[in-house]
Amino acid sequence: MSRLEAQAVSFSWPGRGELLSEVSLFLGAGRIIAILGANGAGKTSLLSVLAGRLRPNRGRVLVEGTPLSSLSPREIARRIAFLPQIERLPFNYPVLDFVLLGRAPHIPPLSLPGEEDYRAARSALEEVGVAGLGERGAATLSGGEFQLVRIARCLAQEAEILLLDEPSALLDPAHAASVARQLSALAKSGKSVLITTHDIGLAYSVADTIILLHEGAVLDSGPAERLFDLGTLRKAFGAEFAQISLPSAYSPRS
C-alpha cells in the first residue's frame, strides 16, 4: 500500500484556469519522488494539495489508505512534514524555539515542550549542520541558514512523510550536497520523501522516480535515466538542453 497517494487530483482557483489537471502519484515507504517542471508548472500547488493546505476540486489524496480530507490538522502534522517554498517569520524566534514548532503535533494541548522534544530539535539542527545557531534569532539568519533551519524543523517533526518544496533553494553547493545525502538517508531509514526542485542534478542523484509537470499535468514519469531525454526536458522546461557526462556525485540513486 502506498504511504501517500494522489488520485486524479485537479485544482483551480475560482474564475481561473486549472493549476493541476488529473495528477496521480504513488509514494511508498523508503522512496523518493522528485517533481520537476518550469515555473508555473504546478509543483507548489501539488505539494500544497498533498499537504492538506489546499483542497482539490476533483480527485482525492490518501495517507496510508485514509482520505486526507478526513484527518484533522494535528493528525496530518503527525504524518506529514511540509516545507513550504516561501515562509515569513511573524517575529524573531530563537532558532531552537523555531525548530521546536515541528514538535507541536506531539505535545499535548496547553503543555510545554518536554525533554524528548528538545532532544529531537537539537538533533535535527545537528543533522543539517547548524547546531551552533540554536540561540540566534531566526530573523537574523542568511537565506541559506534559514533554509537549513526550516529543514531541521521538518526533521524534528519525525513524520513518516516529508513534502519539501525546493529544499536546496538558497543553499551553496556544499550544503546542497549535504541535503541530498540527508534525503537519501531518510529514505534508507524508511521515510517517504517528495521534493520539488529546479536542480536536475539533485533529482537525478536522489530520486527513485521523477515526475515532469507541464502546465499542471504530468508530462511523463519514471526513473531518471529514462526521463532525462533532451526532447522531453525541452518540452517540460521550454529550454534547450545538452547532454554531458556527470561526475560520480550525480550518479542515479541506487
Per-residue pLDDT reduced to its tens digit, 122-181: 999 999 999 999 999 999 999 999 999 999 999 999 999 999 999 999 999 999 999 999
Query: What is the pLDDT confidence band of residue 254, given thresholds at 50, 70 and 90?
Result: low
Q: In the chain, where are the structural domains located?
A: 4-87+159-250
Q: Which percentage of the chain shows pLDDT scores above 90?
A: 80
The grid coordinates listed for 17 are: 484556469
Residue 225: its pLDDT value, please? 80
Cell of 239: 529550454
Q: Distance between CA 233 and CA 69 in Å, rounded?
A: 34
Beta bridge partners of residue 211, listed in sequence order: 35, 221
pLDDT of residue 164: 98
Q: Quick check: helix, strand or coil at residue 53?
A: coil
How long, in residues, is the chain? Answer: 254
* Grid coordinates given for 22: 488529473
DSSP, res 94? B
Mean pLDDT of the chain: 92
pLDDT band at 1 (very low <50, low <70, confident <90, very high): low
Q: Indicate the class that CATH gives domain 4-87+159-250.
A: alpha beta
DSSP result, 135-194: TSBGGGS-HHHHHHHHHHHHHHHT-SEEEEESTTTT--HHHHHHHHHHHHHHHHTT-EEE
What's the whole-model pTM score?
A: 0.92
CA distance 191 to 29: 6
C-alpha cell at 126: 545537528
Q: Note the pLDDT of residue 62.
A: 98
pLDDT value, residue 236? 82
Q: What cell numbers appear for 167 in the block?
A: 529544499
Distance CA 114, CA 117 (A): 5
Please list the residues that pair with 11 across neighbouring strands.
20
Q: Please name the residues in contact with 127: beta carbons below 8 A apart, sequence gap of 6 or more.
A: 152, 155, 182
Torsion of the alpha carbons at 217, 162, 75 and 69, rounded to the nearest 10: 0
